[in-house]
Chains A and B, each alone.
Chain A
């Protein structure tokens, strides 16, 4: 008779684990990284790309009906001038505004394969989470090619821009995007160099408390902006932590979204944190800094202005 109890608990755990996995995957998956920068045009003019699932994508012509199931790549297609080729996106792809006109296909890790097939794509971009292995295989079986990219770090972003430039047949524009982002990041790095590093805790979620770790591009952005992530030594992109562990690491400042920052100010337990008592909760624009995309440079500028006011015009 207690099986109902087991079932409901099992459901809670199963779903919890799946969601935790999705969360980690959404922020990045530090395991099994492999370089996927092997794009070659062979003699027949077809383009061959090995992706992060080790699948080989062969394109004889630039794709015209693309489904992008990753907010970062959706942004990128627009930046590369190929937004009009998108026929599907995830529920969370809200930038640029034009992206909102593209058909919403729901979740992305894993996606609804039938919805994706329904818009008749000739290329599907996936995020490299293990949950997407099976959907990728199903799309292949239906004759739809996929390109799976892991975009967790700034270097991943640069690599992804290069790959998408080749896929779209516009490598010049891809170089412009990469150079512009790299240039801005370098400008921020130079501007904050020599300033005393500010130790920072990045709170990504409240309940449980989730910290951004060294496996996330956000940690890199904090470094570039003249800060030091207290969890930067942990290779995971994001993980839950206890309030007291944060207190032990004693950061100078806290990064949080507007609502998350407000909740932190209101919670008695967070008063144990020196940064909170000193009013050093820095509110970030979650839409701007949330994804490793074309606005990485802008994001770094906004963090540098928070960490070192006056360092950047």
Chain B
């Protein structure tokens, strides 16, 4: 296989792109700082305001955006392979609906704002488990098509719950949950980044570890079983790890749409058919895209921000339509 060197170049290009995006994210903001000031402030030197801007505002945003983008893209890449469906992505499989229900219910139940992410994570995990339970009730093996349908059904159910909660909760408190659901890394803190990074590194490593299984699953259930893979267990494992990774992103930054769907397709043609390469490349590309999307979100409508989820979706929709044309 002559893919190795080409993949090395791909990783290098993606890593450089991510680095450039991060530099842009660190260098651009309402307060103008020269590259030297940016560098010194990152190191804790110079004027106290500049140091605080770099260390407590811009750097956490860039890092959290990178982590969230990487997690969503890796999750999407793994799910598309596992489900053998190019449109599979974590949000379609109940994560977004469940997270939204959890967030809205937490707020409607009078929880303080700090607990909204925990509510969202709980909702996302519950939805993921519910989807899995429904899919398994349909038959012994979790057929990918049944899993997707279960995701759609759970999503519709979640919408109904959200609408009821919105209709009955006071507008004032629901506003919190809604803004938050539109996606943002504006409130990024190092404490939040620390736990998300720990969680993300473990989940992402697991996805990379089980990537060869996903390669086999992508051949089809019968072929995979013929190759000695326990299709049931392998499929469930990939689905749960990928979905929980996406669920954590919702707790960290709200709903950042289309990254999980689009980014794997962006890299797939160049990264080859091995899922370890696709997942890793998707992680780098996802990080780059969300860093740039956050940069757009906070500069395009200054002094206000655009919702991060809206920026990624605006960028994602044209590509998605293009992709649909190719499938026809």
A residues contacting B by CB (< 8 A) are 1-2, 4-5, 7-9, 11-13, 15-16, 19-20, 22-23, 91, 107, 206-209, 211, 231, 239-245, 247-248, 250, 267-269, 271-274, 277
Contact = CB atoms under 8 A, between A and B. Distances in A.
B182 interface: yes
B39 interface: no
A22 B170 CA distance: 12
Given A2-B87, A5-B96, A244-B30, A19 B175 contact: yes
Contact of A15 (B53, B113, B166): B166
B301 to A, nearest CB: 9
A208 B179 contact: yes
21 contacts: A1-B87, A2-B320, A5-B89, A5-B96, A7-B155, A8-B96, A11-B162, A12-B100, A12-B181, A16-B178, A19-B178, A23-B175, A207-B187, A231-B303, A242-B305, A244-B53, A244-B57, A244-B298, A248-B30, A268-B189, A272-B49
Contacts of B56: 268-269, 271-272
Given A8-B159, A16-B307, A243-B186, A107 B171 contact: yes
Contacts of A250: 49
A232 B147 CA distance: 54
Count chain B CB atoms within 10 A of each CB in A11, A248, A269 and give the residue with the most. A269
Contacts of B151: 4
Contacts of A271: 52, 56
B155 A4 contact: yes
A250 B53 CA distance: 12
Q: For chain B, what secondary structure do more than half of its interface residues adopt (helix, strand, loop), or is it mixed?
A: helix
Nearest to A250: B49
Given A12-B100, A248-B30, A4 B92 contact: yes
Given A247-B31, A271-B52, A239 B159 contact: no
B60 interface: yes
A91 B182 contact: no
B178 A208 contact: no
A245 B29 CA distance: 8
Contact of A9 (B96, B170, B174): B96
A11 B307 CA distance: 14
Contacts of B181: 12, 16
A241 B302 CA distance: 7
Contact of B53 (A19, A20, A22, A272): A272
A91 B170 contact: yes
B266 interface: no
Contacts of B190: 268
A8 B190 CA distance: 30
Interface string B71-111: 00000000000000001010110001100100000000000
Range class of the B interface residue count: 35 or more
Contacts of B292: none
A22 to B, nearest CB: 6
A272 B26 CA distance: 15
A158 B170 CA distance: 30
Contact of B57 (A211, A239, A272): A272
B289 interface: no
Interface string B220-236: 00000000000000000
Nearest to A209: B186
A176 B264 CA distance: 70
Contacts of A107: 171
Given A241-B304, A272-B57, A8 B155 contact: yes
A80 to B, nearest CB: 28
B235 to A, nearest CB: 18
B92 A1 contact: yes
B255 interface: yes
B320 to A, nearest CB: 8
Contacts of B313: 9
Given A19-B171, A245-B30, A271-B52, A207 B113 contact: yes
B261 interface: yes
Interface in B228-256: 255
Given A12-B100, A207-B176, A240-B304, 20 more contacts: A4-B151, A4-B156, A7-B156, A8-B159, A9-B309, A11-B159, A13-B182, A16-B182, A23-B175, A208-B184, A239-B303, A241-B303, A241-B304, A242-B303, A244-B31, A247-B30, A248-B31, A269-B189, A272-B52, A277-B48
Nearest to A16: B178
A1 B302 CA distance: 36
Contacts of A206: 113
B124 interface: no
A8 B175 contact: no
B179 A16 contact: yes
B129 interface: no
Contact of B255 (A12, A242, A245, A248): A12
A5 B155 contact: yes
Contacts of B48: 277
B257 A5 contact: yes
Contacts of A208: 179, 184, 186, 305
A11 B178 CA distance: 10
Contacts of B100: 8, 12
B310 interface: yes
Contacts of A19: 171, 174-175, 178
B189 A207 contact: no
Contacts of B276: none
Nearest to B176: A207
| 7 closest A-B pairs by CB | A272-B52, A245-B303, A4-B155, A245-B30, A248-B30, A241-B303, A268-B56
